[in-house]
A and B are shown apart, each in its own frame.
Chain A
Amino acid sequence: MDNRYELNKNLAQMLKGGVIMDVTTPEQARIAQEAGACAVMALERIPADIRAAGGVSRMSDPAMIKGIQEAVSIPVMAKCRIGHFVEAQLLEAIEIDYIDESEVLSPADDKYHIDKTQFKVPFVCGAKDLGEALRRINEGASMIRTKGEPGTGDVVQAVRHMRMMQSEIRRLVSMREDELFDAAKLLQVPYDLVKYVHENGKLPVVNFAAGGVATPADAALMMQLGAEGVFVGSGIFKSGNPAKRAAAIVKAVTNYTDAKLIAQLSENLGEAMVGINEQEIELLMAERGK
């Protein structure tokens, strides 16, 4: 296996048990780092505002991303559009630590994802189910996250994706070896990846939860469902007291089975982000890129 790909999977391993936070300014990045974020996602507008503004949403201004790289010592991630390999080249040129090929931005290509094997920097990609996850890994993604509906504060879809992925993994594990060939065909992924999941009971890369996480309990729910860490987007800086809520979510991810502690952490956090229910959304971003 290629050395660089291993190193990129290794960086995701270092992020495990941590919280990656969306930030739009150096000031927010510092608040996130102070609160215990293990990485930040630099973007011009958080998903809730992207959703509200409508229109085409693109990669952020490199100057803005650099400002955030200057402000913190933890890894900095940034998003490019699905299939927009030139945006990805630019992010690599400014030495971003991780690229999120993200459905939150408007897709640049409705058929092809980026060939991520051509890059030295690592990629994280969203997936609703095991097939999507393994297809992204086959394209070179070194980290996977759920595709929960961003900017909604509604965790229902992240839960659905994580449960789907975990149940499909359990199903592969329980199969006879000679059934794996057909499973690979049905999942539309290479046999080797199916065999890896069958033998190891997990994805070959780190798997985080993302989309709609707004409370410490949401984060702990995703961890108990099998996530190895959590992305929190609009949930923090759209809430009443970002620093306090961010720190509470970080601790809830570390001690995700300690209900007593999470109950304490959930006290007096101020207002959570308002949120939109799944049924009220006109644009389902999770349907972008399969």
Chain B
Amino acid sequence: MTIAVLAVQGDFAEHEAMLAELGAQVFEIRERADLDRPFDGLVLPGGESTVQGKLLRELGLFEPIRGKILAGTPVFGTCAGLILLAKRLSNDDNVYFDVLPVTVRRNAYGRQLGSFYAEEEFKGIGKIPMTFIRAPYIESAADDVDILASVDGNIVAARKDNVLGISFHPEVDRDLSVHRYFLDMIRGRE
């Protein structure tokens, strides 16, 4: 299985290491030509969504990636990646891929002093570590969105069909289960 990781900015290296540990072939997307290679799934890493969104557009990556997601390519976004996937941001006028019908609040826990670690249930996996770094959360989701995890009453993981968006960073913890869930999702087992 081959996974493409968006590598324009952020913690893409951490995602790559985890995916490789699970036996996936991994390559980076930094410019238009990288999209010519075939891949089975796409990861949108943590980082700054404003930076990633701008680079996606200016490097000519935005439309082709959106097209692939709409055509059914499985995609997994963490933190900034969730923001890129969302239909609407409640405290920001930007909209990016608009492929996950949820409303996301950016920096929902405030500045870095509000960053935190928790252990909570993830539907279908069990209790897992969750690291929130200047994180967003999902304020509301359409009825057909599957809510996978919540912390303190706020939605932090959701999926609709081929699109998985979570507001924390499994890639910075040792636990591989969310990445395994994504690979299973690609195989059609989840």
Q: Which residues of A contact B (CB under 8 A)?
A: 3, 6-8, 10-11, 13-18, 33, 36-39, 69, 73-75, 92, 95-98, 120-122, 247, 250-251, 254-255, 258, 261
Contacts and interface: CB of A to CB of B under 8 A. Distances in A.
A92 to B, nearest CB: 8
Contacts of A251: 55, 58-59
Nearest to A122: B112
A122 B131 CA distance: 16
A86 to B, nearest CB: 18
Interface of B: 7-14, 30-31, 46-48, 50-51, 54-55, 58-59, 79-80, 92, 106-107, 110-113, 115-117, 131, 133-134, 169, 172
A11 B133 contact: yes
Given A75-B134, A98-B112, A18 B47 contact: yes
Contacts of B131: 6-7, 10
Which of A14, A15, A96 has the most chain B CB atoms inside 10 A of its CB?
A14
A38 B31 contact: no
A16 B10 contact: yes
Given A17-B9, A36-B51, A92-B113, 6 more contacts: A7-B112, A13-B11, A13-B14, A13-B46, A250-B54, A255-B59
Contacts of B133: 7, 10-11, 14
Contacts of B14: 13
Given A7-B133, A73-B92, A254-B9, A261 B31 contact: yes
B26 to A, nearest CB: 16
Contacts of A17: 7-10, 12, 47
A95 B112 CA distance: 8
Given A7-B115, A8-B112, A11-B133, A73 B51 contact: no
A13 B54 CA distance: 19
Task: Give the dominant DSSP class at B's interface.
Answer: loop
Contact of B117 (A6, A11, A69, A92): A6
B113 A121 contact: yes
Nearest to B9: A17
Contacts of A255: 30-31, 59
B92 A14 contact: no
Contacts of B50: 33, 36, 73-74
A250 B55 contact: yes
Which of B9, B31, B116, B117 has the most chain A CB atoms inside 10 A of its CB?
B9
A261 B9 CA distance: 17
Given A73-B50, A261-B31, A16 B9 contact: yes
Contacts of A121: 112-113
Contacts of A75: 48, 111-112, 134
Given A73-B106, A251-B59, A14 B79 contact: yes
A95 to B, nearest CB: 5
Contact of A97 (B55, B112, B116): B112
Nearest to A72: B50
Contacts of A13: 11, 14, 46, 172
Nearest to B110: A95
Contact of A36 (B30, B54, B80, B115): B54
Contacts of B116: 7
Contacts of B7: 17, 254
A97 B9 contact: no
A97 B111 contact: yes
A96 B113 CA distance: 8
Given A7-B133, A254-B55, A261-B31, A14 B112 contact: no
